[in-house]
Structure 1
């Protein structure tokens, strides 16, 4: 009983008193709002934009902005010192061929800035409201939505309609399908346990063969009780990704794969080579330029060899002198040490594929 009283209270503002239902359809947009902007009807918004374009046309030089004003948050403008903003708004709202006239779909842009994805539901609702159906959202919370559907077939007497609700998996509705008689109202309610994810509720006129007989209503996500501005988050994420890509423009990264991932190409100078840090102080590996190659090399050193007394050591390496005949004249003779090791000199290592960003 308590639930029914709450539902009826939430729906008490959804009773239609006249056939002009389009404004009632704005309640569908409210469920999807991501900003605190107030919603106005299409007629009111269009009238205000029309006034702005006419004022702008009279002051098209951009130096005298008296009388130009438009106060809708994302489309806000006002003041004598904001001519550049006025020019920007005019490009968005007014026709270039005749700045006195407004562009098409300006109201759609207004709705989509406030509630992304909600204009289609509003438009469908407004179209049907003029003929037979009207859908409205009552006082909702982040986890509860009351929905009212009214059927007014006009002169068609004795008719009825079938309405069903379809929702995303995280949403539960108290009644998924019902029949509504002429001039009757169906009351539905939907809830979700988690408001951190964006959901969708669709009102479907199953008795209609028209293609646009479905109202798909986005139910925005919340964070700490505040609607999540998805557009802003996506914009910030894209900006962060672009910033990261810019910072990695010259990066060479090792991957544990045989093929570089998307956005990267193999860094061929690293094939079969070890990476050596650039010595900016020039103490260990001076006079190097970033990206230059360096061949393998042994540092200068000596080997100590034991002999029977006929060998001598010199600073340049090993030199054996062999006595010739009975005199004291010595003749140098070549001496080789035993071969050990493999085909190259290397430390313990692991093979990774080095890639650079495209």
Structure 2
């Protein structure tokens, strides 16, 4: 039931060659990073389907667009309402939200959307980037310079949080990179402790300056995102506490039921014992014509519990007597 919350190793090579790859550095779950065009197309299709289901009052089917967006949660059991709350507007038409891709990125990789936008700004500034490999303690990013002016140059610098060291290709650690013409190089970064969240900043200082800061999420040695594991552990602990409380409530209820049962058994025994000592006696008069003879009185030590009239067997109408039921206690 909780499997959907588990993060997955991020050590595999990143296949994409655009800015969506920087999202993987802080990804929380086993979710392939999709590009903006794919996400927005799926969001538009899903929101149209959701709008129709709301208007018709019928439940949505598990369509391709629903499965596509539900995957961003890392869960196969996420409801259509949950998906709609993130990707569709709250208007009557439930149209796709304008920030659908931002919602998608922040779902799978919190705080990564700003890095994605900065990467796009770098592209517009002739610097292309794509993460090409990632392990818990290292990542490589292919950086390319594609100048619009053949005489343009690009000077890039890199820095990071205290636990990170980076270098360009075969250059020394922390050194900048100067592109004098179109070309590519590899930025290689390492960190001392994968369990500590870090960041890496790339700055273009020549021409029109631009900056991209990429969050590098904390992972364990196997490449599992610790943020996701922490949430999982917290939910497990919460469920364990809830289960313990329910068990305590069940134990208390069982004790109460046992006490009620014991009390009921005692009361039943007392009633049975009391009625076991009661001896009923029926006293009848002799038979006679109407008015029939009166029923005898009860003897001393007993009490009358009522009378009834009887007719003599085989006698004529109005011929019979009266009886009295007398109760005594042994």
TM-score range, shorter-chain basis? 0.5 to 0.7
Shift in alpha-carbon separation, 1:13–1:53, aligned structure 2, 3 A = closer
- TM-score (normalised: structure 1): 0.54
Aligned 8 A contact 1:30 1:115 in 2? yes
Alignment match, 2:152 = 159
Pick one of 209, 223, 226 that aligns with 1:226. Answer: 223
Cα separation, 2, equivalents of 1:77 and 1:34: 12
Cα separation, 2, equivalents of 1:131 and 1:118: 20
- TM-score (normalised: structure 2): 0.58
After TM superposition, list the pairs within 5 Å mapping 1:134-153 onto structure 2: 134-153=128-147
Cα separation, 1, equivalents of 2:75 and 2:164: 40
Alignment match, 1:325 = none
Q: What is the number of residues matched between the two proteins?
A: 219
Aligned 8 A contact 1:144 1:192 in 2? yes
Aligned-residue Cα RMSD (Å) equals 3.4
Alignment match, 1:181 = 180
Unaligned runs of 5+ in 2: 1-11, 169-173, 242-330
More helix by percentage: 2
After TM superposition, list the pairs within 5 Å mapping 1:89-100 onto structure 2: 89-100=83-94
The reply to whether residue 119 of structure 1 matches residue 119 of structure 2 is no
Unaligned runs of 5+ in 1: 1-9, 15-22, 245-358
Aligned 8 A contact 1:200 1:218 in 2? yes
Pick one of 122, 130, 134 that aligns with 1:128. Answer: 122
CA shift, 1:236, in A, is 6.8
Alignment match, 1:70 = 66
The reply to whether residue 103 of structure 1 matches residue 97 of structure 2 is yes
Alignment match, 1:30 = 24
Shift in alpha-carbon separation, 1:13–1:30, aligned structure 2, 3 A = closer
Aligned 8 A contact 1:180 1:186 in 2? no
Aligned 8 A contact 1:11 1:146 in 2? no
CA shift, 1:76, in A, is 7.8
Q: After superposition, what is the alpha-carbon deviation per residue over 1:274-325, rounded to whole angstroms, capped at 9, x for unaligned?
A: xxxxxxxxxxxxxxxxxxxxxxxxxxxxxxxxxxxxxxxxxxxxxxxxxxxx
Instruction: Indicate the SS of the match to 2:159.
Output: strand
Instruction: Indicate the SS of the match to 1:166.
Output: strand
Alignment match, 2:211 = 214
Cα separation, 2, equivalents of 1:181 and 1:237: 52
